[in-house]
Amino acid sequence: MPRLVLIDGSSYLFRAFHALPPLTNADGEPTGALFGVVNMLRATLKERPDYAAYVVDASGPTFREQMYPLYKANRPPMPDDLRAQVEPMCRIVEALGFTILREPGVEADDVIGTLALQGAAEGIDVTISTSDKDFAQLVREPAPGQGLVELVNTMTGSRLDSIEAVMAKFGVRPDQIVDMLALMGDSVDNIPGVAKCGPKTAAKWLAEHGTLDAVIAAADAVKGKIGESLREALGQLPLSRQLATIRTDVPLPVTPRTLALRERDIESLRELYARYGFNQALKELDGGSAADAVEKEPGRARGSGRYAAPVAEDAPPPDPALSAPGEYETVLDADRLAAWIGMLREAGCFALDTETDSLDPLRANLVGISFSAEAGRAAYVPIGHDYPGVPTQLDRQSALDALRPLLEDAGVRKIGQHGKYDLHIFRRLGIEVRGYAEDTMLESFVLNSSQRHDMDSLAKRLLGYDTVAYEAVAGKGAKQIPFNAVAIDDATRYAAEDADITLRLHGQLSAQLQATPSLQAVYREIEMPLVQVLARIEANGVMVDADELRRQTADLSRRMLAAQQKATELAGRSFNLDSPKQLQALLFDELGLPALVKTPKGQPSTNEEALEAIADQHELPRVILDYRGLAKLRSTYTEKLPEMINPATGRVHTSYHQAGAATGRLASSDPNLQNIPIRTEDGRRIRKAFVAPPGRRLVACDYSQIELRIMAHLSGDAGLLEAFSAGADIHRATAAEVFGRRLEEVTPNERRAAKAINFGLIYGMGAFGLARNLGIGRGEAQEYIATYFSRYPGVRDYMERTRQQAREQGYVETVFGRRLYLEYIQRGNQAQRAGAERAAINAPMQGTAADIIKRAMVDIDGWLAGQGGAAQMILQVHDELVFEVDEGFVEALLREVPRRMAAAAELRVPLVVDSGVGADWDEAH
DNA sequence: TGTCCCTGCAA
DNA sequence: TATTGCAGGGACA
Q: How does residue A74 score in pLDDT terms, banded at 50, 70 and 90?
A: low
Element (H, E) at A158: strand A158-160
Report residues 646-685 of A contacting strand C, contact meaning Cβ closer than 7 Å. 657, 660-663, 665, 667-672, 674-675
pTM of the entire predicted model:
0.70
Separation CA A900–CA A864 (nearest Å): 12
Element (H, E) at A627: helix A620-632
> A2-6, A131-135, A627-631: which has the minimum mean pLDDT?
A131-135
Separation CA A339–CA A329 (nearest Å): 12
Q: Please tell me whether residue A1 adopts helix, strand or coil conformation.
A: coil
- What would the DSSP string read from start to end of A428-440? HTT-----EEEEH
Separation CA A371–CA A351 (nearest Å): 5
Per residue in A254-290, pLDDT (tens digit) is 889 889 888 888 888 998 888 888 887 888 777 643 2
Please name every residue paired with A882 in a beta bridge, in sequence order, or none if there are none: A700, A875
Task: Report CA torsion sign: A189, A191, A194, A200.
Answer: negative
Q: Which residue is nearest to nucleotide B6 (CA to C1')?
A: A580
A659 contacts A441 by C-beta, under 8 angstroms:
yes
| Interface residues, strand B, Cβ cutoff 7 Å | A 476-478, 580, 584, 599-601, 603, 605-608, 610-611, 625, 628-629, 632, 636, 674-680, 683, 877-880
Separation CA A755–CA A757 (nearest Å): 5
Per residue in A852-894, pLDDT (tens digit) is 999 999 999 999 999 999 999 999 999 999 999 999 999 999 9
CA/C1' separation A68–C5 (Å): 69
Backbone angles phi, psi at A356, to 5 degrees: -140, 180
Task: Enumerate the nucleotides of strand B whose atoms come under 7 Å of any protein CB.
Answer: 1-2, 5-11
Give the count of beta carbons closer than 10 Å to the beta carbon of residue A777: 11
Residue A869 confidence (pLDDT): 96
A245 contacts A137 by C-beta, under 8 angstroms:
yes
CA/C1' separation A450–B1 (Å): 29
Separation CA A213–CA A223 (nearest Å): 18
Separation CA A359–CA A378 (nearest Å): 23
Q: Is the pLDDT assigned to residue A402 strictly greater than 70?
A: yes
Residue A25 confidence (pLDDT): 79
Q: Which residue is nearest to nucleotide C10 (CA to C1')?
A: A579
SS (H, E, C) A35-78: HHHHHHHHHHHHCCCCEEEEEEECCCCCHHHHHCCCCCCCCCCC
A250 contacts A103 by C-beta, under 8 angstroms:
yes
Percent of chain A with pLDDT over 70: 95
A505 contacts A393 by C-beta, under 8 angstroms:
no
CA/C1' separation A296–B11 (Å): 37
A534 contacts A660 by C-beta, under 8 angstroms:
no
- A265 against A724, higher pLDDT: A724
**Degrees to nearest 5, angle at CA A260 with A256 and A263:** 165
Q: How does residue A35 score in pLDDT terms, banded at 50, 70 and 90?
A: confident
Report residues 577-606 of A contacting strand C, contact meaning Cβ closer than 7 Å. 578-582
Per residue in A728-739, pLDDT (tens digit) is 999 999 999 999
Q: What is the DSSP letter of A615?
A: T
CA neighbor of A121 nearest in space, from A136, A142, A103: A142
Give the count of beta carbons closer than 10 Å to the beta carbon of residue A609: 11
Residue A191 confidence (pLDDT): 79
Please name every residue paired with A55 in a beta bridge, in sequence order, or none if there are none: A8, A101
Q: How many CA atoms lie within 13 A of A370 on its CB side?
A: 30
Backbone angles phi, psi at A656, to 5 degrees: -95, 130
Q: Is the pLDDT assigned to residue A75 strictly greater than 60?
A: yes
Give the count of beta carbons closer than 10 Å to the beta carbon of residue A785: 20
A119 contacts A256 by C-beta, under 8 angstroms:
yes
Please name every residue paired with A129 in a beta bridge, in sequence order, or none if there are none: A7, A152
Per residue in A295-353, pLDDT (tens digit) is 222 222 333 334 543 333 344 545 545 555 679 999 999 999 999 999 999 999 999 99
Element (H, E) at A416: strand A413-416
Q: What is the DSSP letter of A154?
A: T
Backbone angles phi, psi at A572, to 5 degrees: 80, 0
Query: Which residue intervals of A395-487 are DSSP H helices?
Result: 396-407, 419-428, 440-447, 455-458, 470-474
> Which nucleotide's C1' is closest to A580 (Cα)?
B6
Separation CA A799–CA A542 (nearest Å): 40
Angstrom CA distances, A589 to A238, A347, A387, stand at 96, 72, 58
Separation CA A127–CA A160 (nearest Å): 10
Q: Which residue is nearest to nucleotide B9 (CA to C1')?
A: A675
Residue A292 confidence (pLDDT): 28
A93 contacts A47 by C-beta, under 8 angstroms:
no
Q: Which domains does chain A have, with CATH numbers?
A: 3-172+246-258 (3.40.50.1010), 329-540 (3.30.420.10), 543-652 (1.20.1060.10), 706-845 (1.10.150.20)
Backbone angles phi, psi at A880, to 5 degrees: -135, 140
Biggest alpha carbon–alpha carbon distance for chain A: 110
Angstrom CA distances, A34 to A37, A82, A855, stand at 5, 9, 49
CA neighbor of A663 nearest in space, from A520, A832, A840: A840
> Which nucleotide's C1' is closest to A480 (Cα)?
B1
Separation CA A167–CA A199 (nearest Å): 12
Separation CA A476–CA A486 (nearest Å): 13
Separation CA A552–CA A772 (nearest Å): 34
What is the rounded (10 degree) CA torsion for A784, A785, A789, A792?
A: 60
Q: Which residue is nearest to nucleotide C7 (CA to C1')?
A: A636
Per residue in A351-372, pLDDT (tens digit) is 999 999 999 999 999 999 999 9
Separation CA A61–CA A59 (nearest Å): 7
Residue A21 confidence (pLDDT): 65
Backbone angles phi, psi at A917, to 5 degrees: -130, 140
A782 C-beta less than 7 Å away from strand C: no
A917 contacts A925 by C-beta, under 8 angstroms:
no
Residue A645 confidence (pLDDT): 94
Q: Please tell me whether residue A383 adopts helix, strand or coil conformation.
A: coil
Element (H, E) at A796: helix A793-809
> Which nucleotide's C1' is closest to A842 (Cα)?
C3
Separation CA A892–CA A751 (nearest Å): 36
- A803 against A63, higher pLDDT: A803
- What would the DSSP string read from start to end of A323-362? HSPPEEEE--SHHHHHHHHHHHHHHSEEEEEEEES-S-TT
Q: How does residue A665 score in pLDDT terms, banded at 50, 70 and 90?
A: very high
Q: pLDDT averaged over chain A?
A: 90
CA/C1' separation A651–B1 (Å): 31
> Which nucleotide's C1' is closest to A598 (Cα)?
B6
Q: Which residue is nearest to nucleotide B11 (CA to C1')?
A: A878
- What would the DSSP string read from start to end of A226-292? HHHHHHHHTTTHHHHHHHHSPPS----S--GGG-BPPPP-HHHHHHHHHHHT-HHHHHHHHHHHHHH
Q: Is the pLDDT assigned to residue A144 strictly greater than 50?
A: yes
Residues 6 or more apart in contact with residue A773 via CB below 8 angstroms = A756, A760, A765
CA neighbor of A161 nearest in space, from A132, A134, A141, A137: A141
> Which nucleotide's C1' is closest to A764 (Cα)?
C2
Burial of A856 (0-12, 13-18, 19+ CB in 10 A): buried
Separation CA A158–CA A153 (nearest Å): 5
Per residue in A154-212, pLDDT (tens digit) is 766 678 899 988 888 888 899 999 999 899 887 777 778 888 888 888 888 998 898 88
- Whether a cis peptide bond, with omega within 30° of 0, leads into A671 is yes
Give the count of beta carbons closer than 10 Å to the beta carbon of residue A826: 15
Burial of A895 (0-12, 13-18, 19+ CB in 10 A): exposed
Task: Enumerate the nucleotides of strand C whose atoms come under 7 Å of any protein CB.
Answer: 1-12
A798 contacts A716 by C-beta, under 8 angstroms:
yes
Average pLDDT over residues A390-399: 96
